[in-house]
Amino acid sequence: MLYSTFWSPGSIRLLFAVKAFLTVLLFTSFLRAFQPARPVESRSRPPPITTYINPQTTTYGQITCLAPPSPALISRSESMRRTCRRRSPFSKAIKRSSPRVGVASILIDNTPQPHLQAALRTHQLHGLIQSTPLHILRNKLISGHWNKEAFLLSILYAETLKPASTRLEWIFWTDSDTVILDPCRPLSTFLPPGPRMVGNETNLVISRDAVGLNDSVFFLRVCSWSIDFLTAILAYRYFRPDDHLWSGEQAAMEILAAEPLFQSYVQYVPQYWFNAFPLGEVGDYLARDKEQAGAMEGYKARRGDFLVHFEGHREKARALTEWTSAFEGLGSVWERRGNGTGVQRDVTREAKRFWKERGY
Ligand SMILES: *[C@@H]1O[C@H](CO)[C@@H](O)[C@H](O)[C@H]1NC(C)=O
Ligand SMILES: *[C@@H]1O[C@H](CO)[C@@H](O)[C@H](O)[C@H]1NC(C)=O
Ligand SMILES: *[C@@H]1O[C@H](CO)[C@@H](O)[C@H](O)[C@H]1NC(C)=O
């Protein structure tokens, strides 16, 4: 009786199954013990190519020394977001966060460059406030500055494969030596509102400086035109090897943007909208009064401008460090009282008028 309750046919089968399993386990571990050790690199997992640093920031490549936003940055973004909604004229746009714009940049620093990482944090802060995703290339794809076009293409491909209702509508490209001056301002300020009534759509929004087209900061629409345009830029050297490209890919972009196939889709906008250059030190920017600011050349950064760009700056590392650390303790330009306050230029209405005049 005892036998039949304890050792029923079912439990005997189970016993045999367990025994067989243990035998196989013993046998395989025995085999493994006599195998030559595999080299370390094949056993460790390869480093990830795409790293989500937070919902806003994705890095591409294997250089990983990019700190995720610190708790301090996140809490600053939360309080700044409240200020932006209360004090800046952008509260509606921040709530809607439309159209969907992503930010793309490149930061290849095999030895960390703290001033560029600090500049990038101003974009991270802006991204956290505006809920815009940030894509950062961390490894070289191809030679020289042509990485920009190659990386943008990879983002365009990935976005184009998504359903139209979730993909990005625009990509905002910024070189890594730029600092956001007004994180309250949504990127939609600079973009054509809605579809165009007549003529070809605007797919590239870019500015000229004293030299010509400056492709350090620009907006590109997520569409097949942009894929064609970037592909043409990348192919330029091979199909027109005799042309002199005085500034590499930037010259290729400028030449192609002026050709009949592309021209009507390109819109040049005033440089100070999103590509202002600094005049003097950050202390000057903060201390200047409206009259002094008004006397500067148009493309020089003043309070209320969105971004300042340190291209060609003779002491770039020092300047970027000073400008970024000056803003770390400051509130939004829309709420500051006392010295260093007061918006000296606000392009919102100008931009609205600009697009209206062009059929939007
Ligand atoms: C629209 O673009 C095409 C090239 O894609 C060009 O041939 C045409 O002239 C453009 N139309 C206008 C109104 O500019
Ligand atoms: C953008 O403009 C600045 C100032 O004119 C110039 O120094 C720089 O070379 C331009 N950008 C590029 C990528 O050439
Ligand atoms: C404001 O700045 C000016 C010039 O830099 C300075 O003379 C003045 O004392 C400052 N005022 C305050 C309240 O900080």
Q: What pLDDT does 346 receive?
A: 95
Q: Which amino acid is at 313?
A: H
Kindly state if the Cβ of 46 falls inside 6 Å of ligand 3. Answer: no
Atom 1 in ligand 2: residue holding the nearest Cα:
214
Q: What pLDDT does 55 receive?
A: 65
Is residue 166 classed exposed, middle or buried when 0-12, 13-18 and 19+ CB atoms within 10 A define those classes? Answer: exposed
Tens-place pLDDT, residues 42-96:
456 666 677 766 668 888 988 766 778 888 899 999 999 999 999 999 988 777 7
Kindly state if the Cβ of 83 falls inside 6 Å of ligand 2. Answer: no
Domain limits, the chain: 2-357
Question: In this structure, are residues 268 and 219 in contact, taking their beta carbons and an 8 Å threshold?
Answer: no
Kindly state if the Cβ of 212 falls inside 6 Å of ligand 1. Answer: no
Fold of domain 2-357: Spore Coat Polysaccharide Biosynthesis Protein SpsA; Chain A (3.90.550)
Q: What pLDDT does 345 receive?
A: 95
Q: What pLDDT does 92 receive?
A: 81
* Residue 242 DSSP label: T
- Residue whose entry in the numeric block shows the structure tokens 């370390």: 40
The ligand placed nearest to the CA atom of residue 358 is 1
- The model's pTM is 0.83
Q: What pLDDT does 13 receive?
A: 66
**Residues whose CB falls within 8 Å of the CB of residue 246, separated by 6 or more in sequence, listed in order:** none
**Which residue ranges of the chain lie beneath pLDDT 50?**
1-6, 36, 39-42
Q: What pLDDT does 330 receive?
A: 85
Q: What pLDDT does 28 receive?
A: 55
- Residue whose entry in the numeric block shows the structure tokens 């042309």: 243
